[in-house]
Structure 1
Amino acid sequence: MSPRLPDPKRWLVLLAVMLAFLPVVLDMTILHVAVPTLTQALEASNTQVLWIIDIYPLLMAGLLVPMGTLADRVGNRRILLSGLAIFGVASVLAAFAPNAPLLIAARVLLAAGGAMIMPCVLGIIRRTFEDETERGLALGLWGTVGAAGAAVGPLIGGALLEHFWWGSVFLINVPVMAVVLPVCWFLLPRRETITQGHWPIGQAVMLILGMIATVYAIKAGFAAKQPLTVVLLILAIGICMLSLFIRIQLRSATPMLDLSLFSRPAIVAGIIMAIVASGSLAGVELTLAQELQYVLGKTPLQAGIFLIPIMAAAALGGPVAGWLSGRFGLRAVACLSLVVSSGALAGLAAADFDDPGLVVPILLAALGLSLSIGLTASSIAIMGAADAHEAGAAGSLEATGYELGSGLGITLFGVFMSVVFGRNLALPEGVPDLLAEQAALSIGDVYITAQQLGADQGAAIIAAGKVAFSATHSVLLTTAAVLMGLLTILVYCLLHQSRPVRASHH
């Protein structure tokens, strides 16, 4: 088979799909800073707030694989254009939602639209760029948009909230969609090679419900909001559904999710890196955003500005990773990026944020750069180990890793923080038991509790809360650093067979 001539419009296609992808990642983090404003405006309960934030990455993690395989069946172009339209409509509905349940419903629609956009973007890049070096660069640029979008989310959120009402954080997607839809309509090729066969909707529902039940049980169990029997029951349902899904996949002649992809060490390494790197990035950003606002008293916008080194460096990481992998090989680049991020986390754990000097911005930049190089390296590992006809399946697997990482990162960091914070909080004498219990939940609860006490006691509780939170964030970042170190060893072992992959092994 003679190699096809590269598509002359390929860089324009890349630009179009990157623009399509940007609002999807922005929406993952733009709410981090908007939560206090939104909670008060909608009078949302704590549980409702968690669902408003989490339903998006959770549902998306469940939907990505089914949508990726659907795109392989009916063509990336159709699914991408439908996803863009749904995402635009859902953004308008979310912006003008009059109460919390309707906002949660709009976020469900946003997740559906986002899950249609994401695997198509990766599939289109994989099919448009046949050349290994060009594909590395294209995936690097794509990774940049992902990392920068997620990192800039809080900054854009903070800036919008200084001037407009909370709905503006959703409304900002609408003009982007209005530009991207017609551009993708014209640029994307009408003719695509598609996989024959029907799309198993029952398996899709099983996968989505299984994932949501399992993650919900983990969240509820750690938060101790539900009785243990309920949590265990939900967890059992989730695990049963996922096991059944896996059994059907292994027996089926045309599975929805090709589990044989997991037999390739490079793909396993890539997915583990995607989960851990995106989870760490999301968790660290959320932790720092709270430290800056609650302990150091910065506004949402100031907190966003403080985090600029992470964002700017993360934006550089993509293209750098593509170039480095080409020169030094994927294994060296992946392992080095993990070692550097481990060191940066350990440094931040010991740093003094009150007097950041040059040390803290440099450590933040090192962390952003190394994590984003790690994420791009995971893309290159996964996409390089998959053939062109497996692009959709591999792309959706990788994107599932990102979403799961972000969702679980926020959940586990949040839960871990709550436990360590409660242990470190030394309350002043004479605080009523009920209020003491509430204060021990989180730094946010300390501020709420303080308002119900006298001025002196309130001030003492806040001072204790700040000390406890600073201790907590050190423990948290140190733990993350150790995990990164262990991950380095695992990735080093998994990538030892990974040589540059041939274009096809058929």
Structure 2
Amino acid sequence: MSLRHPNSKRWLILLAVMLAFVPVVLDMTILHVAVPTLTQALGASNNQVLWIIDIYPLLMAGLLVPMGTLADKVGNRRILLSGLVVFGVASALAAFAPTAQMLIGARILLAVGGAMIMPCVLGIIRRAFEDDTERGLALGLWGTVGAVGAAVGPLAGGALLEHFWWGSVFLINVPVMFVVAPACWLLLPRYEQTSSAHWAIGQALLLVVGMIAVVYAVKAGFGGKQPLAVVLLTLTFGVAMLALFVRKQLRASVPMLDLSLFAHPAVAAGIIMAVVASGALAGVELTLAQELQYVLDRTPLQAGIFMIPIMAAAAVGGPVAGWLSTRYGLRLVASLSLVVAALSLGWLAIEDFHAPGLAVPVLLALLGLALSIGLTASSIAIMGSVDASKGGAAGSLEATGYELGTGLGITLFGVFMSVVFGRNLTVPVGLPPDIAGQAAVSMGDLYLAARQLADDQAVALVAAGKAAFSATHSVLLLTTAALIAGLAVLVSFLLSGMRKGACQ
């Protein structure tokens, strides 16, 4: 057996690629506390706000796998450096976007750059560390950075907005890229082994177009902004694209996503948990950030501090899940984590956020911990149910599930919140119909509508909006609690065939 000398720069390479990874992860959550600020600054409608937030994970869901394949074909170094440039340029464009439409366009470009960076980071770590022990440590550090990055996103966003304008949450990425890109250019090997793998960009486009068409139809349908015929046509087109994508995956000799893995009940349970848990976490954080700022008049920084328990607990859930699953079995841990999450959501729904005391932070921490354990349990279920030869395919399916869950969670929470808010809002008498209609869409739209009124009418409208949003928040959390409780039962059923030792 030939011995290879370890790369003397491997720890510097790890530092560089982790720094490249941090902004990509931060952009998943940093916008949550910035929504009220940028809504008012850009005059963005509720629909535009949802696109600004969820277009990023939705595009990432479709592009991660083909970008990873492209990196295998042409080299991780080349794709990573290109992704860093794209991400840096997109961050600058987003920071200075004068309209909501241009910000959505910049977020699309950010997703392309992020999808180029993420798979390359793992590939580079894999090749830089030949020793199994060192590689395990490097991957552990990478995972910790990812979890902490997502955890501090709202806090970082709040701190920036305390002193700067909303664009600073994007502009902060630019100096990072100015440091990381030259470091990666200098440190990463210029020659690396590549493969002749097929680049499934056509399959990826089917998935992306199908998802966006369905999401557009859902938003337009519930928003009532488009004729029913347009909504139905768009929905039909999106479903057809997704059906064609599924058909191609099942028939392809080398599919982009191996959907045949869903034949394993544990894999199906894991993917469903990944989608629902990541969606619930993203949706609850977004809703909570708006409740704190719109209703409780907290600053973005105060909102970020308030949300520390949920994010900090989520960051430590992974190691806890692994230990619990080994000791008590995956089925019990996965099901109970979802039950705890459902109970926490239900209790939060009836708590008074005006006087949170100790109960609300504890419940937020329990929720973050439980959902994080659920996410890790989903990974254990997926990886513990497939042969080692299918590990890459299962990992791709899982990563897509996480991003898809985040995007769909924001979409469904936003649409549901808009519908319930409109039904709970009692507008003051005498408001012009167009202003009343705008105010009934969302709390952000209500504040925009209040700008057009006299002081006494504006105060009355905002008070009515705050009462309606608090009621909406409770309904949303109770509904999510019921959904996750139902998921706990389904997961317990699907994992019933797994042996206790299967997760080890």
Distance change >3 Å, CA 173–CA 452, structure 1 → 2: closer
For residues 226-256 of structure 1, the C-alpha deviation after alignment (integer angstroms, 9 at most, x for no partner) is 1111111111111112212222222222222
Whole-angstrom distance in 2 between the partners of 1:355 and 1:76: 51
Whole-angstrom distance in 1 between the partners of 2:489 and 2:126: 29
Alignment of 1:351-500 (within 5 A): 351-387=351-387, 390-499=390-499
Deviation of 1:111 after TM superposition, in Å, equals: 0.5
For residues 111-149 of structure 1, the C-alpha deviation after alignment (integer angstroms, 9 at most, x for no partner) is 011112234445667889999999998777655544443
For residues 171-204 of structure 1, the C-alpha deviation after alignment (integer angstroms, 9 at most, x for no partner) is 2223333444466567778887765443243323
Whole-angstrom distance in 1 between the partners of 2:340 and 2:449: 40
Deviation of 1:91 after TM superposition, in Å, equals: 2.1
Distance change >3 Å, CA 86–CA 383, structure 1 → 2: farther
Alignment of 1:332-343 (within 5 A): 332-343=332-343
Distance change >3 Å, CA 429–CA 118, structure 1 → 2: same
Distance change >3 Å, CA 178–CA 374, structure 1 → 2: farther
The alignment status of 1:235 with 2:231, answered yes or no, reads no
Partner of residue 169, structure 1? 169
Whole-angstrom distance in 2 between the partners of 1:192 and 1:493: 46
For residues 278-325 of structure 1, the C-alpha deviation after alignment (integer angstroms, 9 at most, x for no partner) is 111111111111111111111111111111111221222123223333
**Conserved 8 A contact 1:34-1:158:** yes
SS at match of 1:213: helix
**One-letter amino acid of the counterpart of residue 291, structure 2:** E
Partner of residue 255, structure 1? 255
Whole-angstrom distance in 1 between the partners of 2:12 and 2:249: 37
The alignment status of 1:222 with 2:226, answered yes or no, reads no
Partner of residue 205, structure 2? 205
The alignment status of 1:52 with 2:52, answered yes or no, reads yes
Partner of residue 155, structure 1? 155
Count of aligned pairs between the two proteins: 503
Whole-angstrom distance in 1 between the partners of 2:127 and 2:350: 45
Deviation of 1:74 after TM superposition, in Å, equals: 4.7
Partner of residue 315, structure 2? 315
**One-letter amino acid of the counterpart of residue 159, structure 2:** A
Partner of residue 350, structure 1? 350
For residues 432-456 of structure 1, the C-alpha deviation after alignment (integer angstroms, 9 at most, x for no partner) is 4333333222223333344444444
Whole-angstrom distance in 2 between the partners of 1:268 and 1:17: 32
Partner of residue 84, structure 1? 84
Deviation of 1:345 after TM superposition, in Å, equals: 0.6
**Conserved 8 A contact 2:279-2:408:** yes
For residues 56-87 of structure 1, the C-alpha deviation after alignment (integer angstroms, 9 at most, x for no partner) is 22222221232234345455555444333432
Distance change >3 Å, CA 283–CA 49, structure 1 → 2: closer
**One-letter amino acid of the counterpart of residue 22, structure 2:** L
**Conserved 8 A contact 1:210-1:238:** yes
Deviation of 1:366 after TM superposition, in Å, equals: 0.8
**Conserved 8 A contact 1:13-1:187:** yes
Whole-angstrom distance in 2 between the partners of 1:40 and 1:424: 22
**Conserved 8 A contact 1:292-1:298:** yes
Distance change >3 Å, CA 256–CA 406, structure 1 → 2: closer
For residues 446-473 of structure 1, the C-alpha deviation after alignment (integer angstroms, 9 at most, x for no partner) is 3334444444443333332222221111
Deviation of 1:341 after TM superposition, in Å, equals: 1.0
Distance change >3 Å, CA 380–CA 182, structure 1 → 2: farther
Whole-angstrom distance in 2 between the partners of 1:476 and 1:138: 40
Deviation of 1:97 after TM superposition, in Å, equals: 3.9
Deviation of 1:385 after TM superposition, in Å, equals: 3.9
Structure 1, 264-273 or 276-285: larger mean CA deviation = 264-273
**One-letter amino acid of the counterpart of residue 90, structure 1:** A
Partner of residue 67, structure 1? 67
Partner of residue 287, structure 1? 287
**Conserved 8 A contact 1:339-1:485:** yes
Deviation of 1:54 after TM superposition, in Å, equals: 2.9
Whole-angstrom distance in 2 between the partners of 1:495 and 1:73: 37
**Conserved 8 A contact 1:337-1:370:** yes
TM-score by length of 2: 0.87
Distance change >3 Å, CA 358–CA 387, structure 1 → 2: same
SS at match of 2:107: helix
TM-score by length of 1: 0.86
SS at match of 1:496: coil
**One-letter amino acid of the counterpart of residue 56, structure 1:** Y
**One-letter amino acid of the counterpart of residue 367, structure 1:** L
Deviation of 1:479 after TM superposition, in Å, equals: 0.9
**Conserved 8 A contact 1:275-1:402:** yes
**One-letter amino acid of the counterpart of residue 250, structure 1:** L
Whole-angstrom distance in 2 between the partners of 1:464 and 1:280: 27
Q: List gaps (5 residues or longer) in structure 2.
A: none
Structure 1, 348-357 or 387-396: larger mean CA deviation = 387-396
Alignment of 1:268-307 (within 5 A): 268-307=268-307
SS at match of 1:225: coil
For residues 452-503 of structure 1, the C-alpha deviation after alignment (integer angstroms, 9 at most, x for no partner) is 4444443333332222221111111111111111111122222234455699
**Conserved 8 A contact 1:55-1:108:** yes
SS at match of 2:421: helix
**Conserved 8 A contact 1:250-1:259:** yes
**Conserved 8 A contact 2:266-2:385:** yes
Structure 1, 22-31 or 125-134: larger mean CA deviation = 125-134
**One-letter amino acid of the counterpart of residue 478, structure 1:** L
Whole-angstrom distance in 1 between the partners of 2:390 and 2:189: 19
Deviation of 1:355 after TM superposition, in Å, equals: 0.8
SS at match of 1:211: helix
Structure 1, 348-357 or 417-426: larger mean CA deviation = 417-426
Whole-angstrom distance in 2 between the partners of 1:54 and 1:179: 28
**Conserved 8 A contact 2:45-2:445:** no
**Conserved 8 A contact 1:122-1:392:** no
Deviation of 1:96 after TM superposition, in Å, equals: 3.8
Distance change >3 Å, CA 45–CA 222, structure 1 → 2: closer
Distance change >3 Å, CA 492–CA 470, structure 1 → 2: same
Whole-angstrom distance in 1 between the partners of 2:495 and 2:476: 28
